[in-house]
Structure 1
């Protein structure tokens, strides 16, 4: 299903996006050396409830996971890149942490992810990974607009990631959002320009470049959810929800201020 929002629904999408962005920035500030991943999950739960919003994850049970997910945020550390199931782990100096959050407010979903280094000892590899996914995300957003093909966004992402020296996995990528978290169209993180669905004003897309330092192969943890690099290398994941507008694209999940 491809869902197109009415102009009257865009303010609500902005509100949901601001909520997601605010929660992620608050959790980033609280993610210091010694912070437990389960505490991050509990804090996410509390902030979602306080806002009168609903988690898109806690009851999420797709075919590829061992559902339901049962938690409120994805916490992926170091070699974990997607769907990181929170567990009893205290963050260490230099850990690369990705937080991925999707919530529904007033019936509209926003989805975003950030990656950052905990503490004061960032590895150059971690900094390069985060920089590449953030630049790829910016490139895709800059390419988005009415009449543009999905393949144009995929090409913009893949060009940046390949130029940075990373292979691109095509098993998971971006997607449409709206009244539900995962909708068509799928947005691969590599592709050919001029191909695929033409974007229309009112379409919400969650764009999410992610990479692994030296492989494109994933392995799944025994928890049935957490996806890691097959080689144990570090990873990064950046994501924004955008709305296609009459003259381009608007980022829904930017932090206020």
Structure 2
């Protein structure tokens, strides 16, 4: 069931989403060689609590951390471990969710540690980021969920990469994951019609190689099956009468 949000609800989702944006900004400033992923977890948790908010991921379906920190071939749900030490050229995807006043915000960003070590890595990150921008631009009332997925898939595959299919974007609001699902692949003009009041987390996840995935023995960390690198960008948006508006932006 899809619940259209009131203006007041959208304001609360935006408040939560902006805290997420602040977290990603602060965490990004600490991503450098020699830093442990757990250091980022501590920074994020302290900041979220300082903002009188709740880390949305911690305890969600048993997930044990506030952040997902996924490095290189890790696509999503990577544990921010003490032994996960960042090195120059690593691609680090940080996903964060916040609960504030009963509403959720959700966003993700891929960072490079210090500097890119290959042109292909830079192309991957930039293409994934651009695909999110283009996906948001087609999220107008009257368009379809399939238009979002088609836009991401077409752009990414033209760039020579693969869209992850096993995991998708989603609605967001009073729950972290609400209907509808928002795939990063699809056919134009198909699927649910977009309406004002919908709040969505659009999140392209992209691999340099195959779109096939596997889950590590920790039961959470999703990696590319072929070991190639991945990138992940996400924004929480609202669809308004005049078009889409990003809520998870500073």
Q: TM-score range by the shorter chain?
A: over 0.9
SS in 1 for 2:60: coil
Q: List alignment gaps of at least 5 residues for structure 1.
A: 62-67
Q: CA deviation at 1:252?
A: 0.5
Q: Which residue of 2 aligns with 1:74?
A: 68
* Equivalent-residue separation in structure 1 for 2:33 and 2:232 (angstroms): 20
TM-score (norm 2): 0.96
Matched residues in 2 for 1:156 and 1:126: separation?
21
C-alpha distance in structure 1 between counterparts of 2:245 and 2:52, whole Å = 24
1:42 shift after superposition: 1.3
What SS is found at the alignment partner of 1:141?
A: helix
How far the C-alpha of 1:20 sits from its partner, in A, is 0.5
2:30 — aligned with what?
30
Q: How many residues align?
A: 249
Structure-2 separation of matches of 1:33 and 1:40 = 13
Instruction: Report what 2:92 is aligned to.
Output: 97
Aligned residues of 1:173 and 1:208 also touching (Cα < 8 A): yes
Q: CA deviation at 1:124?
A: 1.3
| SS of match in other structure, 1:206 | strand
**2:193 is equivalent to residue 204 of structure 1:** no
For residue 223 of structure 2, give the secondary structure of its aligned residue in structure 1.
strand
TM-score by length of 1: 0.94
Q: Which residue of structure 2 aligns with residue 20 of structure 1? A: 20
Q: How big is the alpha-carbon RMSD for the aligned residues of Structure 1 and Structure 2?
A: 1.1
Q: 2:225 aligns with which of 222, 230, 233?
A: 230
Aligned to 1:178: 173
Within 5 Å, which residues of 2 pair with 1:129-208?
129-208=124-203
Paired with 1:131 and 1:120, the residues of 2 have a C-alpha distance of: 14
Q: Distance in 2 between matches of 1:121 and 1:109?
A: 33
- Where in structure 2 are there 5+ consecutive unaligned residues? none
Over 3 Å counting, the alpha-carbon distance change for 1:51 and 1:138 in structure 2 is: same
Q: Distance in 2 between matches of 1:247 and 1:122?
A: 42
